[in-house]
Amino acid sequence: MSHPREEVEAAVAHYVELRARIERGEATWTALAELFTDDAVYIDPAWGRIRGIEEIRRFLDESMRGLEDWRFPIEYTAIDGDTVVVKWTQILPASRPDGTPYRQSGCSTLVYAGAGRFSYEEDLLNMVHVLDDLKASGWRPGPGFVPPPANPDRDFSRPPSP
């Protein structure tokens, strides 16, 4: 059974507003952890499956170190019951010879769990596109960069609904 649409919309608005604050440098990526349930699952294309709010908080800290000059603006959101889709763009700090930024299309699917929190997020990116742009741009990690694990858990299944 889905939550009331107004409740889901309010949670999505909070998520989008927090992401905007992160874009402006007014908050860090670890602040997103407050929007997840204690047993949430987060799927990242490079880091794999992350389980539980403390692991999500650690992942958000480690995975974003050295990427402080990258941007991730949201283009739009869509809501279907408790399922939310967030369309965003990943923008690298370097520019192509024609002056346009290196950028990739990204999408997140979230599952709303109630009380303003989400129980699942799966981020999707074309990693071949990302790696091609990293190479072409000459990008190098910033201080404190933590690489993704060598053998991430690729299970993207959603946890069972309560």
The residue written with tokens 């995975």 in the block is 63
Non-local (6+) Cβ contacts of 97 within 8 A are: none
Q: Tens of pLDDT along 85-102? A: 999 999 999 999 999 999
- Could you tell me the pTM of the whole model? 0.95
Q: Tens of pLDDT along 122-158? A: 999 999 999 999 999 999 998 899 999 999 999 999 9
Residue spans of the domains in the chain: they are 5-137
pLDDT at 162: 65
Residue 37 CA to its chain's centroid (Å)? 16
Check: CATH 3.10.450.50 for 5-137?
yes
